[in-house]
Structure 1
Amino acid sequence: MQPDQIETFLDLVDSRSFNRTAERQGLTQSTVSGRIASLETALGVRLFTRSRAGTELTTEGLKFAPHARILRHAWAEARHSVTPTGEAVINIRLGIQSDLAPNHLGHWMQGFRRYLPDCAFYIEPDFSAQMCRDLTAGASDFAVLYTPYASPDLHFTSLGETRYRLISSETDRRAGLRPATYIRANFAPAFDMHHRMALPELQETPIAAGQSATIAGLLSRLGGSAYLLDVVAEELIASGNFRVVTDAPIIRQPVHAATHLRHRTSKLHRHLLRVVQQTFAAA
């Protein structure tokens, strides 16, 4: 039984299509079929059935799926454990929601180094969906994210929320907003839902982006209006070129910590969680 067989099996569980799994993994369909056939031979059972409706798990496949996820995670941890870390005892891989990294990461690292002085850290700013996939696969140890994508392998803890404020170089009232100069922010599904409810007239715009730093750069160069993370909005307002749109609602975005279910009670992960909880409690 090979790690690539497990990875292909789990992708097929998700895609329910040999063609789609081949495309997603950059393989030929015959390679996907061969890996599944070899895995079935090793286990002595059929894992999938094919029909016009698609590819479905057999009863044995359903039973094997949770074990496959454990095997994939264990293999990733095994590889990680032998990765050179210099003088550090442990190398910790962190995922951080890209919009939170610039303003929170420094505070978090101070706390992480205080509690875990013998650890080395690799930090990857990213978006929620990819961070959840990395945690499930064992490619990441701990993440702070906006959207907790449901998975039987992941554990989420609510940390609090961040605030997004609408600012403009053109007006301080909602009636003065123009779709032609409005930059549509979309930081997460929850944010998008609240935005659609609050400002239905500003859904079709020429520019959209999903990161406050990017939007701030566009506003500084082009002018216009957009929602920004509170602290980023304050910096632009302080420049004297932007104003708060006073009758537009503040949009609040929930924030969560995430880790693999196997690690949720470990001492190391409790330290990581404590640091980010303290940061949000102070805020």
Structure 2
Amino acid sequence: MNLEQIHTFLDLCETRSFNRTASRLGVTQSTISGRVQALETALGCKLLERSRAGTELTTEGLRFEPHARAMRNGWTVATQAVKGAGNAAMAMRIGIQHDLLGDQVAQWVKAVQGAVPDTALYVEADYSAQMCADVRDGQLDLAIHYTPKPHPDLHFETLGEVGYVMVSTEGADLSDIRPESYILPNYAPAFSTTHAVLLPTLSMGAVSSGQNAVIRGLLLALGGSTYVLRETARDLERAGLARLVARAPRIEQPVYAAIHLRNRHRGAHRRILRALRAHLAGRSA
């Protein structure tokens, strides 16, 4: 039994297709079949049943799946632990939603460093789906994001909220906002749903984006109206580039943390989550 076989089995658990798994892993179907056969021989049981209808897990396969995930994650955690920490006691890899990081990366890093001062940190910006997958597979220790992607190996907690407000280069009141020049923000599914309920006539913008920096750039280049983070709105208003729109509702976007289920009670992770809640509360004050 080896990690290549484990990884192949777990990919088949997702695709339920030898053909799709072969394509995703860049090998032939016969290679996939050989890995599965070797794994089944090592375990002494049948893990998968193939038929014209597709591939299904046997009872033994269903029982083995969570153990296989734990084995893969354990190996990833072990390899991460021996890399790149220098003189620090441990290393942690943290992913943060693009909009949250922005130009405030130093504040986020300081918040985490205060919670785990003897830890070497790796911080990157990404999107919710990829970060959840990376936490699940052990590539990240923690993700701070907008949209949880439920999975048996993941644990999610709410950290707080960030506020988005409407700004405009054209009007000062909601009644002045023109749909034809509105830049539609799509920051997260929850945001888009709230936006559609509160502002149905402005939910069909000709131009849209899901990133605060891009939305800001479009607003300055094209003019019009849109939603940006409250901090961005303040900067635009101070610079005389846009105005806050009166009577436009503020939209709150929940922020979540994703950690691997096995880490949900670990001291370092709990300290980081407490520090991040305090950091978000300070941003909202």
TM-score class, shorter:
over 0.9
Correspondence for 1:213? 213
Q: Is the 8 A contact 1:97 1:125 kept in 2?
A: yes
Deviation at 1:137, TM superposition (A): 0.8
Q: Which string of whole-angstrom CA distances, capped at 9 and with x for unpartnered residues, describes residues 53-111 of structure 1?
A: 32211111100110011011001011112213222221110011111013653223223
1:167-182 alignment, distance < 5 Å = 167-182=167-182
1:209–1:29: structure 2 CA closer, same or farther, 3 Å change rule?
A: farther
Give 3-state SS (helix, strand or coil) of 1:147's partner: coil
Q: Does 1:134 align with 2:134?
A: yes
Q: In the alignment, what sits opposite 1:73?
A: 73
Cα separation, 2, equivalents of 1:275 and 1:53:
50
The answer as to whether partners of 2:216 and 2:228 remain within 8 angstroms in 1 is yes
Q: Could you say what secondary structure the match of 2:241 adopts? A: coil
- For structure 2, the 5+ residue unaligned runs are none
Residues 217-249 of structure 1, C-alpha deviations (whole Å, 9 max, x = no match): 121122122111111122112222312232332
* 1:23 alignment counterpart: 23
Query: Does 1:257 pair with 2:257?
Result: yes
Distance in 2 (CA, whole Å) between partners of 1:96 and 1:139 is 13
Q: Check if 1:230 corresponds to 2:230.
A: yes
Give runs of ≥4 in structure 1 deviating > 4 Å: none
- Aligned pairs for 1:22-101 (under 5 A) are 22-101=22-101
Distance 1:260 1:221, change over 3 A: same
Aligned-pair distance for 1:139?
Answer: 0.8
Q: Counterparts of 1:51 and 1:61 in 2: how far apart (Å)?
A: 16
Query: 2:101–2:108: 8 Å Cα contact kept in structure 1?
Result: no
Shift in alpha-carbon separation, 1:27–1:205, aligned structure 2, 3 A? farther
Q: Residues 19 and 177 of structure 1: is their aligned pair in 2 closer, same or farther, counting only changes over 3 Å?
A: farther
Cα pair distance change 1:240/1:28, threshold 3 Å: same
Instruction: Go from structure 1 to structure 2 and tell me whether the alpha carbon gap of 1:23 and 1:166 turns closer, same or farther (over 3 Å shift).
Output: farther
**Alignment correspondent of 1:192:** 192
* 1:169 to 1:78, Cα distance in 2 relative to 1, 3 A: same
- TM-score, structure 2 length as denominator? 0.91
Q: Write the distance in 2 (CA, Å) between the matches of 1:183 and 1:39.
A: 53
Please tell me the residue identity of whatever aligns with 1:150.
P
Spell out, residue by residue over 1:155-187, the C-alpha distance to the aligned partner (whole angstroms, 9 max, x if none).
Answer: 222111111112111223444434443222111
Deviation at 1:141, TM superposition (A): 0.8
Percent identical residues:
49
How many Å apart are 1:30 and its aligned residue? 2.9
- The alignment's TM-score, normalised by the length of structure 1, stands at 0.92
Deviates more, 1:13-22 or 1:153-162: 13-22
